[in-house]
C-alpha cells in the first residue's frame, strides 16, 4: 500500500444503481479499523438518483443499516490538488452486519452470477470495458477523430489517470479522440469479469478527478448534446473453460457461446434495463449510428447489438482472443449489474440450448422490413418505461428485494426526467 501524506484522508464506497460513486470518508488514522470492520451505510442510499431524489416507492426508508466492507483489492490514491489533500479510495461491497451479502449490492450480484456460471457450466468469464466520454472546457477547435492532435490534447490527463490506476493494476490500455467534438474513448484491459468491473469503476472516478484538477469536466452521459454523437459503453466478454478459450473457433461462435448470445436476445428487455438505464440513454439509440440497435449478432459488424470479434485463428482453428462485444450499454448503468445480467441471460440460453441468432454482416437498417422480420430483428423498446414493463426476468435473476429497489429507481428516473424537462440532460451531464 502506498505511503500517504500526513494530512491524507480516506474513503470507502462503490457505485449505486445509477452508477454514481457514493460512500463514506474516514480519517486515514482509522484505516486499520475501517478495513477490519467497515463503515455503516444507509440502505436507501443505493436508490438515490443522479438528481439526488429518492424514489417514492423505495422499499427502504429511514430505518435500517448496512455496512460498507472493503473488498480484497488494492486501493487507488488520488494525489493532492490545490486545496485538497491526498485521498485513498477503497472499493466496497454492501453487507449485512454479520458480513453476509446484502441482496441489493451490485458487486455481490456479479460475484454470485460468476459463481453460478462456474458451478453449473464450468465456465469463467473475462471482460473488458470501453467507455466514451466528453471533456468540457478544452480550448481551441475540436480535433479530428482518432487523430494524433486530438489524443495529445488529453495526454497529460491520461498519463495522470494511469499514474493513479497502475499501482492498483487497473491502468487503461487506450485513450483516443472520438467522433464528437471533444469526445474521447478509453479502454480497460481484458481480465476476469469482477476485476474488469472494478477497474471500470475506478477508471471513471480517476478521469473525473483529474479532469477537475485541470479545470475541466468529464461526462460519460449518454447524450449530453443532441447535435453530437452519443457516448456508449462497449462490453467485451469471452468464455473460458479450465483456462482455455471456448468462445469461437473457425471465426464463428462455439455452440455454447452462440446459445449464450441467444439467451441475451431472448431476455433483452431485462438486460437492457441493466445496461441502458436512463431516459437520456434512449436519446442516442438510432439506426446506422454505430450503436447496435438491432438484436442480432454480426461478425465484425458494429451495427449489431453483439459484435463478434473473432481475431486471428490459432492451433486447431480456435480463435483464442475472440470476444463478443455487447454494444447496447452506456455509463448510466452499473457495470457489475450489467455483467451479471448478461451472465444470467446467457446461462438461460445455454440451459435451453438456444440456436445461434442470425449473423448479420450488413447494416440491418439497409434491409427491408420483410428481411428484418424474417431474421427476427424486432424493434427495441423505445423508452425506459417500455423496457421496464417487459423486464420480467429480473426477480428470477436477482431476487425480490433487489427487483423492488431497482424498479423503484428506474421509475424515479422517469419521474425526474418529466419533472425537470429540458434541465434533465444538464443535470445528467454533471452527474454521470
Minimal CA–CA distance to 17: which of 101, 98, 94?
94
User: CATH says 108-431 is which class?
Assistant: alpha beta
Q: Could you report the per-residue pLDDT of 188-214, keeping only the tens digit for each? A: 999 999 999 999 999 999 999 999 999
Q: Could you tell me the CA-to-CA distances from 375 to 6, 61, 259, 367, 378 in Å, in that order?
A: 63, 47, 16, 10, 9
Residue-level pLDDT at 6 = 67
Total residues belonging to the chain: 432
Give the pLDDT band of residue 121 (cuts 50, 70, 90).
Answer: very high
Mean pLDDT of 296-321: 92
Flag whether pLDDT at 135 surpasses 80: yes
* Distance, CA of 42 to CA of 193 (rounded, Å): 27
Flag whether pLDDT at 25 surpasses 90: yes
Residue-level pLDDT at 114 = 98
Q: Could you report the per-residue pLDDT of 221-264, keeping only the tens digit for each? A: 999 999 999 999 999 999 999 999 999 999 999 999 999 999 99
User: Residue 101 has what DSSP assignment?
Assistant: B
244-245 and 248-249: which strand pairing? unpaired
Q: Are 270 and 323 spatial neighbours (Cβ–Cβ below 8 Å)? A: no
> Which one is the CATH code of 9-104: 1.20.58.740, 3.10.20.70, 3.30.70.580, 3.30.470.10?
3.10.20.70
Q: Could you tell me the CA-to-CA distances from 46 to 17, 57, 151, 245, 257 in Å, in that order?
A: 6, 13, 36, 36, 33
Mean pLDDT of 331-351: 98
Minimal CA–CA distance to 143: which of 175, 180, 103, 173?
180
CATH 3.30.590.10 location in the chain? 108-431
Give the pLDDT band of residue 3 (cuts 50, 70, 90).
Answer: low
Give the pLDDT band of residue 269 (cuts 50, 70, 90).
Answer: very high
Q: What integer best gives the mean pLDDT of the chain?
A: 94
Residue-level pLDDT at 376 = 87
Q: Could you tell me the CA-to-CA distances from 90 to 20, 113, 162, 204 in Å, in that order?
A: 15, 23, 17, 14
Residue-level pLDDT at 277 = 83
CATH 3.10.20.70 location in the chain? 9-104
Residue 103's CB: how many other CB atoms inside 10 A? 17
Partner residues linked to 401 by β-bridges: none
Q: Could you report the per-residue pLDDT of 350-401, keeping only the tens digit for each? A: 999 999 998 999 999 999 999 999 998 888 898 999 999 999 999 999 999 9
Residue-level pLDDT at 379 = 85
Q: Are 47 and 29 spatial neighbours (Cβ–Cβ below 8 Å)? A: no
Residue-level pLDDT at 18 = 95
Flag whether pLDDT at 20 surpasses 90: yes
* Distance, CA of 346 to CA of 424 (rounded, Å): 34
pLDDT-wise least confident of 93-102, 324-333, 373-382: 373-382
Flag whether pLDDT at 141 surpasses 90: no
Flag whether pLDDT at 38 surpasses 80: yes
Flag whether pLDDT at 2 surpasses 60: no
- Phi, psi angles (nearest 5°) of residue 130: -115, 130
Mean pLDDT of 99-127: 98
Percentage of the residues of the chain whose pLDDT score is greater than 70: 99
Residue-level pLDDT at 7 = 82
Mean pLDDT of 101-120: 98
Q: Are 199 and 165 spatial neighbours (Cβ–Cβ below 8 Å)? A: yes
The position carrying cell 495526454 is: 155
Partner residues linked to 76 by β-bridges: 89
Amino acid at each position: 500500500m502506498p505511503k500517504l501524506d500526513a494530512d491524507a484522508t480516506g474513503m470507502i464506497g462503490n457505485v449505486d444503481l445509477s452508477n454514481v460513486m457514493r460512500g463514506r470518508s474516514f480519517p486515514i488514522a482509522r484505516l486499520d479499523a475501517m478495513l477490519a470492520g467497515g463503515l455503516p451505510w444507509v440502505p436507501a442510499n443505493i436508490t438515490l438518483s443522479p438528481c439526488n431524489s429518492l424514489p417514492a416507492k423505495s422499499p427502504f426508508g429511514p430505518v435500517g443499516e448496512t455496512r460498507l466492507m472493503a473488498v480484497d483489492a488494492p486501493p487507488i490514491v488520488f494525489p493532492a490538488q490545490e486545496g485538497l489533500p491526498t485521498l485513498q479510495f477503497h472499493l466496497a461491497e454492501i453487507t449485512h452486519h454479520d458480513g453476509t451479502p446484502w441482496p441489493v449490492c451490485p458487486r455481490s450480484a456479479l460475484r454470485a452470477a460468476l459463481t453460478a456460471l462456474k458451478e453449473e457450466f464450468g465456465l469463467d468469464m473475462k471482460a473488458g470495458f470501453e467507455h466514451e466520454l466528453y471533456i468540457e472546457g478544452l480550448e481551441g477547435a475540436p480535433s479530428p477523430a482518432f487523430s494524433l492532435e486530438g489524443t495529445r490534447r488529453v495526454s497529460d490527463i491520461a498519463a495522470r489517470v494511469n499514474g493513479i490506476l497502475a499501482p492498483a493494476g487497473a491502468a487503461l490500455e487506450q485513450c483516443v479522440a472520438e467522433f464528437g467534438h471533444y469526445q474521447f474513448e478509453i479502454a480497460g484491459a481484458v481480465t476476469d469479469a469482477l476485476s474488469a468491473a472494478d477497474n471500470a469503476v475506478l477508471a471513471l472516478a480517476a478521469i473525473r478527478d483529474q479532469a477537475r484538477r485541470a479545470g475541466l469536466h468529464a461526462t460519460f452521459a449518454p447524450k449530453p448534446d443532441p447535435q453530437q454523437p452519443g457516448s456508449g459503453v462497449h462490453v467485451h466478454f469471452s468464455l473460458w473453460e479450465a483456462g482455455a478459450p471456448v468462445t469461437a473457433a473457425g471465426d464463428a461462435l462455439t455452440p455454447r457461446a452462440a446459445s449464450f448470445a441467444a439467451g441475451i436476445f431472448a431476455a433483452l428487455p431485462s438486460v437492457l434495463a441493466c445496461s441502458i438505464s436512463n431516459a437520456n440513454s434512449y436519446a442516442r439509440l438510432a439506426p446506422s449510428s454505430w450503436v447496435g440497435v438491432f438484436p442480432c449478432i454480426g461478425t465484425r459488424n458494429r451495427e449489431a447489438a453483439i459484435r463478434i470479434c473473432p481475431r486471428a485463428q490459432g492451433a486447431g482453428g480456435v480463435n483464442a482472443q475472440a470476444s463478443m462485444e455487447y454494444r447496447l450499454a452506456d455509463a448510466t448503468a452499473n457495470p457489475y449489474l450489467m455483467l451479471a445480467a448478461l451472465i444470467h441471460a446467457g446461462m438461460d440460453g445455454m440451459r435451453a440450448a438456444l440456436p445461434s441468432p442470425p449473423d448479420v454482416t450488413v447494416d440491418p437498417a439497409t434491409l427491408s422490413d420483410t428481411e428484418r422480420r424474417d431474421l427476427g430483428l424486432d424493434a427495441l423498446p423505445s423508452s425506459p418505461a417500455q423496457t421496464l414493463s417487459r423486464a420480467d426476468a429480473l426477480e428470477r435473476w436477482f431476487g425480490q428485494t433487489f427487483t423492488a429497489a431497482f424498479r423503484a429507481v428506474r421509475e424515479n428516473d422517469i419521474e425526474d426526467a418529466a419533472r425537470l424537462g429540458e434541465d434533465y440532460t444538464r443535470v445528467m451531464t454533471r452527474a454521470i
